[in-house]
Structure 1
């Protein structure tokens, strides 16, 4: 969408006091948008429907719920001073989270605000005569279905509502699955195809339908001892995956990390994404979240450093090591991309600004980068930037190297600023107004590789078609040809596919959902021993329960909280 979609919030500009139970919004009559055409008014109405996505996908919201809760990411109390936050990140990782967790509350509120804005659009767009209103109406209704998928996946329920003045009907289990499915099927004929990944398209609807059917066994009975994956669901996963793959609209990227570059909006692997382009005031913080406070990726911004946030657990790192031993995991181009030649050429310590790029992927050991003294980057005699071994200067520990270790846990030793291998999957934006927290990379919601791997999983779950699944998995691996692709696999099983999903989608906010579907979420990993199956879905925030107290029995807390 164009920038004006975010500025012309005429009809929906008064999105104000929000009710967590009945999803009420204050709606302005479109006639108040004096001088606007129906097309401009329609654009102004649909914009707020998407505008909540960047906030939902903020690093402390959806990422926290989907990654910090898993065996993939861990966020300790760094040095006893950073990321303490009353223990909420420790509890998230340990599965001791409660209904008063502020990040759970924020995520809940933002998703339901997005849903409420969709309902506002659904009720307003039919009053406009421009042809675009029909498309935007389909998008608004489809986005309501997507927000419903999020509440179902995270909290185990869906709010069904059409009338702005009525209370929502709460759906769970099979009724919730069928409702979301029917909504996506209803809007698919009226969705566009070539408007980019930042809007809901036919391809995005197919991908969401495939994901819904793949997870339907979990959504129907989230506490089951063993999930029942119906053959008809798996057939639908294959059907919608085939539609996407055979459409010719999407393409696996030769360069894996280009999928996460700051200019990735036109990357043909993206099917549906959070649009974060600069003219839409993109503000994702994925690039700096995991890096050291002494890593400065942009020569133009001497204050744009990392935040010493989460690292990957040793458990997750060891899945890479075990898969490729005796070779180093970096033989897989998804694991690591070297951009600083000083690692292999110590004499190359003076780098031109245009040539300086931090390494990508999983960062281990001693880190090199721009050397900063008294707030200024050092330069070489030729004017290039000085690059060398990094130390924890910003922590007033100039003799302590930025040397990432495999160990990371909640002990004092495991919570230091250098503990844990870090993840730099998304690229720092060189156009950002701050250089730090205004990332322009679109955040992937679903991309083509996921479609291939969903199809592979459906083949395995329905008929144990290991050969067909292996073909799909190897197609993804073989596509990464900008460097030597990872070696093809020779066998396939659900356990191998689960491992492959970890390699392909780490840090992309699908890990918790995958762990639950594969029966791994009650497992044991670094600092986590809780085996309570009730933790598969999160508690409804206490503020929402309290807000619905005037309707006895309407909003019940989830099992086990």
Structure 2
């Protein structure tokens, strides 16, 4: 079992769930064993436990174990935060296809034919708003007035100031994902009373302004990079989220903010983070403690015993096991895994197998006895499979369980920052071309790729390929394709794009997902996105 510095305490997860829910979020409490808030906060330790509960929403789906969800009407897999994000950012692109299309909602994502009734969309929308709700309630329970009324010591108050900044980051992160995926959200903060169900709608411009201002406001309070407990927010995480919104600002608010993106990339790079010397260690069961630790800026944690969830790493490890190969034992799970649930498209494979990457450690494709094209999604023997993720440690030991994995999901890591810096340089954000080239070459050298680039090679096409090779299956691809104008339209088609084997253009409306119909029904202030 991993020793977690940040314990996900079931009782506080229950507490925040009970006091933080609103009908506006389409969430209903399912546990009758409630207890009073003031009773919970009688103990000084409760404030850190409450903080763990807000973090817990990124990982856990209920207090009843990984097979249950605290969002009514949704199963655990559908509503886990990281898995919902992964499904929407990966299955809708050229990086992954899900074999078992009878699983609710997944056929629509594979084929880019989703509607507002899609259960995966509803699950992630609800999970993000649950995060907002938990954060708001924690902030209500830790206001100066409330702490004063409870006689909290000055020493503890000083700690709680940091806890509150972390919670505000987690709320901003949820709004960021809503801005990116749905283009809007019902906006509510701790200043609104519990039960303010019909929250006003914020569009991308309003969300961008809010996220930016929140992050800038909390930065002085957050701990310095790598100085907080593992998996807790520090300045590096806040810098990263700022860099992300600036990198995509032309998509979100039609403004060029590459100079700002580059500025925060430089802050992160100077913050003490270090590339793991071994690429594969980033995706192993001990990535919280092996030499990948200082590359990971902010993870979503997973543990086969302590914080069980059917999240993105459990999906990736079990899903990548080939139906023909039955190679799960190589990754520390059952030999059959999930029966060939995940495969990659022909376009993904062709990128990996060209001369630049065919001997690259990041290319883990298995092609023997398989066709490169997925001609029938239900035929799990077609299409190549990969071996990127593992539930084995860097020393070769198995994780603590053989299905739910110990491998943390690196939501943000340094290699992404290197490529964001390079992209900002190419897009006119300033910086140094030589430095950008050096960062790309460092990533290639780390993966034993001897094809170094020069300044004349550095362009947007190369950067998009490098991002696929370095970051595939890490929840970035849809966002990247949209930013590079390769997602909608017909400038780049991949297998099953638009529900066609060879791929067809998508309407521009598909650059955002629809607001789930259940959320529209619950909050009349929300409006549907164009085209749905």
CA distance in 2, matches of 1:527, 1:243: 40
Per the TM alignment, residue 486 of structure 1 is displaced from its structure 2 partner at its CA by 4.1
- Separation in 2 of the partners of 1:466 and 1:323? 24
Which whole-Å CA distance do the structure 2 matches of 1:448 and 1:65 have between them?
A: 23
Aligned partner of residue 422 in structure 1, secondary structure: coil
Q: Distance in 2 between matches of 1:303 and 1:502?
A: 28
- Deviations along 1:405-459, one digit per CA (max 9) or x if unpaired, are 31213x3xx64221111123221256656401x1111101110011111111111
Which of 493, 506, 514 lines up with 1:539 in the alignment?
A: 514
TM-score (normalised: structure 2): 0.81
Q: Equivalent residue for 2:170? A: 143
- CA distance in structure 2 between the partners assigned to 1:299 and 1:538 by the alignment: 34
Give 2:437's aligned residue: 470
Structure 1 position 37 matched with structure 2 position 43? yes
Alignment counterpart, residue 58 of structure 2, candidates 29, 53, 59: 53
Residue 528 of structure 2 corresponds to residue 557 of structure 1: yes
Aligned to 1:6: 9
Structure 2 residue aligned with 1:400: none
| Structure whose alpha-carbon radius of gyration is higher | 1
Q: CA deviation at 1:525?
A: 1.4
Alignment partner, residue 382 of structure 2: 419
Per the alignment, do residues 189 and 277 of structure 1 end up closer, same or farther by CA in structure 2, a change over 3 Å counting? farther
Structure 1 position 463, deviation (Å): 5.5
Q: Alignment partner for residue 338 of structure 2, among 295, 306, 312?
A: 306
Q: When the two structures are superposed, what TM-score results if normalisation uses the length of structure 1?
A: 0.77
Shift of 1:462: 1.5
In 1: Cα distance, 2:332 partner to 2:436 partner: 46
Unmatched runs of 5 consecutive residues or more in structure 1: 77-81, 221-227, 337-361, 366-402
| Native 8 Å contact 1:477 1:485 kept in 2 | yes
Shift of residue 201 of structure 1?
Answer: 1.0
Question: CA–CA distance in 2 between the matches of 1:75 and 1:299?
Answer: 19
C-alpha spacing 1:145/1:200, structure 2 compared with 1 (3 Å): same
SS in 2 for 1:273: strand
Q: Aligned pair in 2 of structure 1 residues 279, 192: CA closer, same or farther (>3 Å)?
A: farther
Q: Could you tell me which of 275, 281, 285 is aligned with 1:252? A: 275
The alpha-carbon deviation at position 180 of structure 1 amounts to 0.4
Following the alignment from structure 2 to structure 1, what is the Cα–Cα distance between the partners of residues 484 and 80? 24
Match of residue 24, structure 2, among 20, 36, 54: 20
Residue 3 of structure 1 and its aligned partner are, at CA, apart by 5.8
Q: Report the 3-state secondary structure (helix = DSSP H, G, I; strand = E; otherwise coil) of the residue aligned with 1:280.
A: coil
- Structure 1 residue 310: deviation in Å? 1.8
> Which residues of 2 match residues 265-304 of structure 1 at below 5 A?
265-266=288-289, 267-278=293-304, 280-283=306-309, 284=311, 285=314, 286-293=316-323, 294-297=326-329
- Residue 177 of structure 2: SS of its match in structure 1? helix
CA deviations 1:105-140 (Å, max 9, x no partner) are 111111111111011111112334313211110011
Matched residue SS, 1:208: helix
Match in the other structure for 1:510? 476
Q: Deviations over 1:78-110 (max 9, x none)?
A: xxxx43236x43321322110111111111111
Q: Which runs of 5+ in 2 are unaligned?
A: 62-78, 498-503
Choose the corresponding residue for 2:361, options 333, 352, 355. Answer: 333
| Counterpart Cα distance in 2 of 1:182 and 1:473 | 31
| RMSD across aligned positions (CA) | 2.7
Structure 2 counterparts to residues 440-519 of structure 1, below 5 A: 440-462=406-428, 466-480=433-447, 484-490=448-454, 491-519=457-485
Higher strand share: 1
Match in the other structure for 1:262: 285
- Could you give the per-residue CA deviations for residues 469-508 of structure 1, whole angstroms, max 9, x where no partner exists? 323322322344xxx3442123110111011101110010
